[in-house]
Structure 1
Amino acid sequence: MHWADVIAEKLLEKGKEHVVSSGITPSGPIHVGSMREILTADAIARAIRDKGGEAELIYVADTADPLRKVYPFLENLGYEKWVGYPLAEIPAPNDEGTYADYFLNPFFEALNAVGVNPRVVDNYKAYKEGKYVNESKNACDNIEKIREILETVSGRQLPKNWFPWTFVNDDGKMISGKVLKYEWPIVEFEDENGDIFTNNIEKGEGKLPWRLDWPAKWNVLGVTFEAFGKDHATKGGSYDSGVKIVRDIYGGTEPEKTVYEWINLKGEGAMHSSTGLAISANEILEVIPPEVLRWLIMKPQPNRHIDFDPGIGILNLTGDYERVELDYNKNEEKTDVHRAYELSQVDTEIKESGDLLGQVKSYRNLLTLVQSKSSLEDMISSLKRIGILEESTEEIERYLGKRVEYVKNWLARYAPDEIKFEIKKETPENEFDDEQKAVIKEMVAEFNAIEWNAEEIHNSFYRVQDKSEMEAKKIFEIVYLALLGQNYGPKMGFFLATNLEREFVVERLESY
């Protein structure tokens, strides 16, 4: 059984209605690694619904959190003065709207593209609207009880004058301070400079600290399930303390959980927007279809880390998805891998694939076409000529055009040099020995005799291998050298069938 279904069944044993939560602090560009949380939550919400339950997916935007420092991408933009202010009150880098919206809006576009449509909770607005008033009052009225919980669970001692509220000064900047007087809902405090301020907690002037804020969300929003990163799941971490806080202070119940591993940028480590070591969700959706991004998350168990390689790994990722897609449509009996494919679809309704463009859906095949044809029209003409595409409709052209854009973007941004090629108009200079020239003659004979299609072209190399003492790999290299001037290239059968006339290939080989 797929992991999402296992979790869904466990949740449905407790009740039919569920609130599945996810969230993030929009402190910078929201990257591919951050997609794991929301897509894991979305998969479980879908699985609950598929099993007859009801599930609401919510996404909490922690816009009340402060800007903690000037990140590398903010250097020389004058953000030093905004450190400590809530993200909802800071201007955007382009001066259009808030800092939080500047990073959230593109992310919401990415969510829409991958078929995720949560109810968004703006945490800054929630505080201002009084959503957390009861939890805030319970926290401030039970300081010693909370102190005991946090110190026992975390193993760390809190300062003597600790108070369960993050203060703001008159300018709205979050600061630390010493409480002088507290009488609900007013707290009076003194900052490090000796200045005295008051906050009206009931009006959301400030916020609960993270270890109190998180369980407050569970209680107010009625969260029954949440997926979160391993940093929150350590012994004595914020989930452990949250369980005690929500039970003993807020009078609620903690949600069921799934802990997920990081998505690492291959060879670099875990993605972090703050360090610049990340690729945004929007960027990656310009090089792969949304269902392939979902597949990246749906196939492995959440507790398995993912090495994401935007280079050659994209070909492996798309190829893996395409193979399962073909197998899904051929087999009535569905496996866990097929279920991962179902959960990878943008639409919950599974559509038959393979009937639109067949093998042209292959990312690798499109990679060949994009590098050898100058226009979409030329690509379609080649596909018609060899019988892969019987007719072209507006739907097909629109579909193929979008996938071509993915491949073009990948070639320009991430493709390694060994993937790129160019058909040489002039005959490349190659010094072939007698054995190689003999094999070239055999290949010419084969090419003249066969039907000019991908399968026959591919098989001809192995027939020549059987006739000669040269392995097929070396024979492929000879033909690549003759056509491309390099000893590697795209899948030979599809490449020759869709891009080059038989006469051109034969004439080029005979020139040696």
Structure 2
Amino acid sequence: MTEVDWVSRFADEVIEAAERRAPGKTIVCASGLSPSGPIHLGNLREVLTPHLVADEIRRRGHDCVHILSVDDFDRFRKVPAGVDPSWSEHIGKPLTSVPAPPGSPHPNWAEHFKAPLLAALQDLGVEVRLISQTEMYTSGVYRERVLLAMRERTRIDGILGQYRTKDATSDEGEDDGLGESGYYPYKPYCSVCERDTTTVTAYDDDSTTLTYTCACGHGETVRLSEYDFGKLVWKVDWPMRWAYEGVIFEPSGVDHSSPGSSFVVGGQIVREVFGGTQPIGPMYAFVGISGMAKMSSSKGSVPTPSDALEIMEAPLLRWLYARRRPNQSFKIAFDQEILRLYDEWDSLQRKVAAGTAEPLEAIASDRAVRTSSGPLPTTERALPYRMLASVADITTGDDEQMLRILTDLDPDNPVTSLDEVRPRLDRAAHWTATQVPTDQRTQVRDEPDTKLLESLDESQRESLRLLLQGLDSSWSLERLTTLVYSVPKVLAGLEPDAKPTPEVKVAQRQFFVLVYTLLVGRDAGPRLPTLLLALGADRIRTLLT
């Protein structure tokens, strides 16, 4: 029996639910994000989880849409680090009414943080139908549902009241509409100051007149059947949207999934107030970062999808989310771990090509490299990432030098253009330039270390002589690898291809340290054969003699 991955299991469940609830209609999978600040790699799970499920449903020939609700009508809560403190005057306004951060080309705060996410989603092959909550509320689309929620406020208050005395959950800090003048699930923004520092003091169901006062001193009575500058509180807003959009699948983070939280309460509200059904809603776990990027810490935030796509190709990033069940946490590497990660990915691709990959591995790989719309762009010649990073490090990203080295890697099948190894080369070069600390970058000596060369014993001198002697006949990555490992064997009286003894392994490490010290002034560096190729035979001879 073929193993079934988590995406297929949810797709089965969603298709079955759709046929039961709304046969013949478009299946709706949903995500929701607030552009209150940088949308980070943890938030990306909110989008990629339903994307993968929706894509599987489309692969099976069903009509399925993935909607992405942008909560740009949420209130501006606080001024993040690094932004002019004067922006605090906008706290309480809708995100679309707050000016973008200084220097931004975007018209408002929400658009500033939404734009890079949309660009990243396009690179990742994620197709979504965008829904701006500012547009939905201010155009009056939700008006009848707002009036319904106000008519049913006693029922909603009763549902919420079942949980208010329970232990606080992580999203209960949200205003649920309860105030000194009673319970109202609708929160108007002030028509004068635009903030939500308002209190509803009265509401009449028949005339829909609503009276509010604002902390700014303004107060007025409006007709809610005509007033669209406000929104339902979160625990009512979310289930209203489930019913309005007919959502069948929408995951949520652990903060929304605990007892008494918005997903649980929303299940009752959507049934009892809006006549809808709660979506299938798996909880997704934390996404961590291995080696926080310096460039992102300076922004005062965790890395974003755009940051990740600057150092890794889109299929690799998709794979990290596809291979883990939503409730499994994992880390995304910005440090040296990315080298091992790419080795693992390349190994998987070789196994997939050979037909030897495990079924679930092959499925996760397929979801990473293509969608129902077609394959994602890939690197034509996928040379090892760690090698490309070393080449970029040694050459400080100089195109001419990088091409020279990559051409020499395999003389029988030379790289003739850097385009063959892009975009992977560009990702590796960017990782080297931004994530490798300066003190770990490779700095090749300008002049020979004459003091060290003069102090060498006869065995060390002979090892360098054997290395230099074999350079010209070993000028490819494979042959240089054989050469540097064979020198200590030959010195020990063994054949170049002999299996190394424990003593020879020690001698190999000592030889490598000697060569690294003479070339780059440290006892380690990029893989020695790659470093030798990068330097060229003439420069090696200059530094080792």
Normalising by the residue count of structure 2, what TM-score does the alignment of the two structures yield? Answer: 0.83
CA change 1:173–1:351 in 2 (3 A) is closer
Amino-acid identity (%): 24
Secondary structure (helix, strand or coil) at the match of 1:215 reads helix
In the alignment, structure 1 residue 4 sits paired with structure 2 residue 25: no
In the alignment, structure 1 residue 31 sits paired with structure 2 residue 40: yes
Deviation at 1:61, TM superposition (A): 0.4
Structure 1 segment 350-499 matched on structure 2, within 5 A:
350=375, 356-359=380-383, 362-373=384-395, 375-387=398-410, 390=413, 397-400=418-421, 402-417=423-438, 419-428=440-449, 431=452, 438-439=459-460, 441-442=462-463, 444-445=465-466, 448-449=469-470, 451-466=474-489, 468=492, 469-470=503-504, 471=506, 472-496=508-532, 498-499=533-534
Q: Equivalents in 2 of 1:414, 1:166: separation in Å?
A: 45
Secondary structure (helix, strand or coil) at the match of 2:288 reads strand
Deviation at 1:223, TM superposition (A): 0.8
Deviation at 1:340, TM superposition (A): 1.8
CA change 1:321–1:429 in 2 (3 A) is farther
Which residue of the partner structure matches residue 181 of structure 1? 203
1:286-315, CA deviations, whole angstroms, 9 ceiling, x for partnerless residues?
222222222232222222222334222332
Secondary structure (helix, strand or coil) at the match of 1:74 reads coil
444-453 or 245-254, which moves further after superposition? 444-453
Deviation at 1:92, TM superposition (A): 1.9
Structure 1 segment 206-285 matched on structure 2, within 5 A:
206-266=230-290, 276-285=300-309
Q: Equivalents in 2 of 1:273, 1:88: separation in Å?
A: 26
Q: Equivalents in 1 of 2:257, 2:437: separation in Å?
A: 37
Q: Equivalents in 2 of 1:200, 1:388: separation in Å?
A: 79
Unaligned 5+ residue runs, structure 1?
Answer: none
Q: Is the 8 A contact 1:367 1:407 kept in 2?
A: yes
Which residue of the partner structure matches residue 119 of structure 2? 109
Q: Equivalents in 1 of 2:62, 2:412: separation in Å?
A: 43
Q: Equivalents in 2 of 1:58, 1:233: separation in Å?
A: 20
Secondary structure (helix, strand or coil) at the match of 1:22 reads strand
Which residue of the partner structure matches residue 499 of structure 2? none
One-letter code of the match for 2:392?
V
Q: Equivalents in 2 of 1:232, 1:275: separation in Å?
A: 27
1:26-66, CA deviations, whole angstroms, 9 ceiling, x for partnerless residues?
11122222212111221111122223333211110001111
CA RMSD in angstroms comes to: 3.1
Q: Is the 8 A contact 1:418 1:488 kept in 2?
A: no
Deviation at 1:192, TM superposition (A): 5.5
Which residue of the partner structure matches residue 302 of structure 1? 326
Secondary structure (helix, strand or coil) at the match of 1:39 reads helix
Q: Is the 8 A contact 1:295 1:341 kept in 2?
A: yes
Q: Equivalents in 2 of 1:317, 1:326: separation in Å?
A: 14
Deviation at 1:188, TM superposition (A): 1.5
Q: Is the 8 A contact 1:295 1:344 kept in 2?
A: yes
Q: Is the 8 A contact 1:22 1:59 kept in 2?
A: yes
Which residue of the partner structure matches residue 15 of structure 1? 18
1:224-273, CA deviations, whole angstroms, 9 ceiling, x for partnerless residues?
1012211101111110000000011000001101211122234779xx99
CA change 1:350–1:185 in 2 (3 A) is same
Q: Equivalents in 2 of 1:107, 1:260: separation in Å?
A: 19
1:416-466, CA deviations, whole angstroms, 9 ceiling, x for partnerless residues?
346521332311356489997515524643663563332333234444455
Q: Equivalents in 2 of 1:419, 1:330: separation in Å?
A: 37
190-199 or 313-322, which moves further after superposition? 190-199
Q: Is the 8 A contact 1:67 1:85 kept in 2?
A: yes
CA change 1:61–1:502 in 2 (3 A) is same
CA change 1:319–1:392 in 2 (3 A) is closer
Q: Is the 8 A contact 1:85 1:173 kept in 2?
A: yes
1:154-202, CA deviations, whole angstroms, 9 ceiling, x for partnerless residues?
4369445121111222223212314223235331133467753234434
Deviation at 1:490, TM superposition (A): 1.2
Q: Equivalents in 2 of 1:274, 1:439: separation in Å?
A: 46
Q: Is the 8 A contact 2:11 2:57 kept in 1?
A: yes
One-letter code of the match for 1:65?
D
1:93-147, CA deviations, whole angstroms, 9 ceiling, x for partnerless residues?
3474122111111221111111112100001111122222232222111122111
Match of 2:162 among 145, 152, 158: 152
Secondary structure (helix, strand or coil) at the match of 1:32 reads coil
Secondary structure (helix, strand or coil) at the match of 1:188 reads strand
Structure 1 segment 117-132 matched on structure 2, within 5 A:
117-132=127-142
Q: Equivalents in 2 of 1:189, 1:225: separation in Å?
A: 37
Q: Is the 8 A contact 2:393 2:432 kept in 1?
A: no
Which residue of the partner structure matches residue 73 of structure 1? 82
Q: Equivalents in 2 of 1:328, 1:406: separation in Å?
A: 23
Q: Equivalents in 2 of 1:273, 1:505: separation in Å?
A: 39
Which residue of the partner structure matches residue 322 of structure 1? 346
One-letter code of the match for 1:427?
P
Q: Is the 8 A contact 1:436 1:478 kept in 2?
A: no
One-letter code of the match for 2:259?
K
Secondary structure (helix, strand or coil) at the match of 2:230 reads coil
Equivalent residue pairs, number? 501
414-423 or 485-494, which moves further after superposition? 414-423
Q: Equivalents in 2 of 1:210, 1:384: separation in Å?
A: 58
